[in-house]
Chain A
Amino acid sequence: MADRLSVTGIAKRFGATIALDGVDFAIAAGEVHALIGENGAGKSTLLGVLHGGTRADRGMMQLDDSRYAPNTPHEARRRGVVLIHQELSLCAHLSVMENVLLGAELSRAGVIDRRASHRRAEELLSELPHPEIQPDALVRDLSLPARQIVEVCRALASEARVVLMDEPTSSLQGSDVERLFALIRRLASKGMSIVYVSHFLEEVRRIADRYTVLRDGRSVATGMMDAVTNDDLIATMVGRPPATLFPAGVRYAIPQVAMCVEGLACPPRLHDATFELRRGEIFGIAGLLGSGRTELVRALIGLDAPSAGMVRVGDNDEPSTSASRRIREGVGYLSEDRKGEGLALALSLADNICATRPEYAHSALGILDLQEQSAQSSRWMSVLRVSALGTQQAARSLSGGNQQKVALARLLHQRANILLLDEPTRGIDIGAKADVYEMINLRASAGCAVLIVSSYLPELFGLCDRLAVMCRGTLSPARAIDEWTPESVMTAAIGG
């Protein structure tokens, strides 16, 4: 089988982060090739390189025996390589027909030939077994699965030969997954090559002919799907545990419940979560991106209103609550989105640290005591070893790791005794990680209840006392950390 698209030695770094570090893979005409790997293994970056969104630093790409190095998505599309995004990129205000033909409109002297457009759209839609999608329907009126079909249709319209699909089933329900698979097989049988990115192994097994595993930015294994077991794949994805970064925790189990959660649901992502968070423990939540982990934390802190279930903090078990109330109850929240909602980047470090409880640093009448604010901030900053010029520096000017420490310093200033940490070490370097781990461990030793959501398994294994796994909106029962293995967590996360 001749390769339709092959890449060798692709490497890419973003600043200090090495996203790709030598990726080789090839796909033949009519093949469905799965790219699998943990979160952060480099799948998205590789897709970026393939569809022209990102330029590789090194490496060679060949498409049908000629060099392929697209500078823009448009150039990739012209060469017949199309990405179907995880977040769909359609124009919601336009109709199905208009979206499908966008950029390739059928026109005479600039005036759209409506009859021909209609015919072409119907022709393309008829290739796909979805009679319910009308060419004149507005995209914003379509369901998510239907929108995905429209994207596929657009790929057909541009006569794509290689279609890159990024987690195409992450927002689909069972029967829609079946229909998508039928569609993928149909496209493959017509000679289209499909790069299928997913971490749901069962799905990958059903749809893909071959696989390539990415780990830490490298392609570590490739082969026929039939010739490998799921256990082997998981072992390859997880790899070796890294060197210890984690403080040896000497903690006392306090049998006191800090937060009790029962049957919590917050559609569309979170369906059922039940657990108890105890004082003095670190409780981990693992799961894939989009499994409902972040939605769980947001419901707990009162940012999203749950549709069912109960959260009890201390004596308060009112179901509806607000973040300001939770914060007064001593719950602290670290957002996974540091730049978007974690920090006010334009404000000073002192303003950021004192944001949740300004009353700890103001006098009567609500006038801010700037000296006190500054003194308290610099105390927390030294506890967390933030390297900054001073408390009045803008948060924007710090590195990611130091920004994260400032966000954590806010929780210390808040005197929070229940810490909800969503991806506390995302995108920060090893040194900062060690400091963050130490702080988390110290708080737990001091009797705080800590809940950590993380995509990084070694971190959960290094820190947590107990762990539960979120899979498609449902939280597994919590078990002590030594009853889990990385493989069993992965299996639970992909719904095995």
Chain B
Amino acid sequence: MLRTWIARLGPALGLVIVVLVFALLTDAPGRYLSTFNLRIVLSQTVIVALGAIGMTMIIISGGIDLSVGATIALTGVMTALGIRSGWPPSLALVAAVLAGGFVGVLNGMVITTLRVVPFIVTLGMLGIARGVAKWLAHEQTVNVPTTWMNDLLVTFPRQGWLVLPIGVWTTLALAVFVAFVLRRTVFGRRIFALGSNEAAARACGIDTNRLKVAVYACAGCLFGLTGAMQMSRLRQGDPTVANGAELDIIAAVVIGGGSLNGGEGSILGSMIGALVMAFLRNGCQQMGWPNYIQEIIIGVIIVAAVALDRARASWATSHA
């Protein structure tokens, strides 16, 4: 029990350290920790955090998805195209979610029926989805008329009582919901079993192929929603956006304790992982450090987080 808690607290401790370090480094800790700045950080986290919710499911199941960034661009472009051609924004939103889910189903089907490893399948899908996005958008950004869709991620929502942007609340609600699904439902339990020991899961009568497709499909829907959020933030559909976002998203899951071998990971951890990166980025900006410094620091953090996690695991086994 104690160990589970240490494992849960590990990433949170990392987050506290990052926040403290930057609060002390900046001349005005009050400004770094101001509610104003916190709101900015939270709305900046939404894209990575939403993606990380889906990615957590995939990584726990023992898979990986490299096509997230491209899926975000594709669904973002589709949302913009829909709204521009006069669809109600809600319909465009649903279309984006379904399109993301469709990409996920394709990934899952190829992985299970053609028996190609997820890394390769989704690497291929990365190119395909990006290409389709550019094709649909005629290699240009797609401008949209102003609708409520553009307000999902504004730092100060028009309705003051919301305090935080709708996108942040949505992310929070989905995080709680998916965490519940993973921990408390048969579906979630089987995702853990699949990632922990696929042969055992199959021997227990679980249809592992169908389960895999379902996992990629659910995660794909979340990536579709992420694409709509991305569109909302840019206020246009950009087929070149979110290039490399998959790496940030995977990093968030891994910093949060997810294991690429499957069977391990938590939504709470992944959310903290996403926040660690957002606070880092924001802190570096506040310090006026150039972009490349951020990249170096985040690179170090990813490796250090996983190395610490391994050290903790071996310490735990030797003291069991």
Contact = CB atoms under 8 A, between A and B. Distances in A.
Interface stretch (B77-85, B112-120, B191-199, B242-250): B191-199
Given A93-B264, A94-B193, A107 B204 contact: no
A95 to B, nearest CB: 10
A90 B187 CA distance: 18
B189 A98 contact: yes
Contacts of B200: 89-91, 102
A405 B248 CA distance: 49
B189 A105 contact: yes
B218 to A, nearest CB: 13
Given A73-B202, A93-B263, A112 B186 contact: yes
Given A91-B263, A93-B263, A94-B192, A111 B203 contact: no
Nearest to A72: B202
B184 A102 contact: no
Which residue, B193, B201, B320, has most C-beta atoms of chain A within 10 A?
Answer: B193
Contacts of B204: 74, 77, 102-104, 154
B290 interface: no
Contact of A92 (B185, B189, B197, B199): B197
Interface residues of A, number: 23
Nearest to A88: B200
A103 B264 CA distance: 19
Contact of A102 (B185, B199, B206): B206
Contacts of A94: 189, 192-193, 196
A262 interface: no
B197 A107 contact: no
B267 to A, nearest CB: 16
Given A93-B192, A94-B192, A110 B263 contact: no
Nearest to B206: A103
Interface size range on B against A: 20 to 34
B288 interface: no
Contacts of B199: 89
B205 interface: yes
Contacts of A111: 184-186
Contacts of B203: 73-74, 77, 89
- Chain B interface helix/strand/loop/mixed: helix
A64 interface: no
A74 B207 CA distance: 10
A141 interface: yes
A90 B186 CA distance: 17
Nearest to B196: A91
A130 interface: no
A78 interface: yes
B80 to A, nearest CB: 35
A77 B203 CA distance: 8
A47 to B, nearest CB: 13
Contacts of B190: 102
Given A73-B202, A73-B203, A74-B205, A91 B185 contact: no
Nearest to B4: A138
A354 B204 CA distance: 46
B197 A112 contact: no
B289 to A, nearest CB: 39
A114 interface: yes
A110 B196 contact: no
A90 B263 CA distance: 12
A66 to B, nearest CB: 20
Contacts of A110: 185-187
Which residue, A94, A103, A111, A112, has most C-beta atoms of chain B within 10 A?
Answer: A103
A49 to B, nearest CB: 16
Contacts of B263: 91-93
A154 B193 CA distance: 14
Interface string B192-234: 1101110111111110000000000000000000000000000
Which residue, B186, B192, B197, B320, has most C-beta atoms of chain A within 10 A?
Answer: B186
B314 to A, nearest CB: 13
Nearest to A143: B320
Nearest to A76: B203
Interface string B44-63: 00000000000000000000
Nearest to A89: B200
A327 B38 CA distance: 61
Nearest to A117: B189
Contacts of B206: 102-103
Interface in A78-129: 78, 89-94, 98, 102-105, 107, 110-112, 114
Interface string A143-175: 000000000001000000000000000000000
Given A105-B186, A114-B184, A74 B196 contact: no
A443 B248 CA distance: 58
A114 B189 CA distance: 12
Given A89-B197, A91-B263, A92-B263, A78 B189 contact: no
Nearest to B193: A91
A73 B203 CA distance: 6
Given A77-B205, A98-B189, A102-B201, A112 B184 contact: yes
18 contacts: A77-B203, A89-B199, A90-B197, A91-B197, A91-B200, A93-B264, A94-B196, A98-B193, A102-B189, A102-B200, A103-B201, A105-B189, A107-B186, A110-B185, A110-B186, A111-B184, A141-B320, A154-B204
Given A91-B263, A93-B263, 10 more contacts: A77-B205, A91-B193, A91-B197, A91-B200, A94-B192, A94-B193, A98-B192, A102-B206, A107-B186, A112-B186
The 9 closest A-B pairs by CB, nearest first: A103-B204, A91-B196, A93-B263, A89-B200, A74-B205, A103-B205, A93-B196, A102-B204, A105-B186
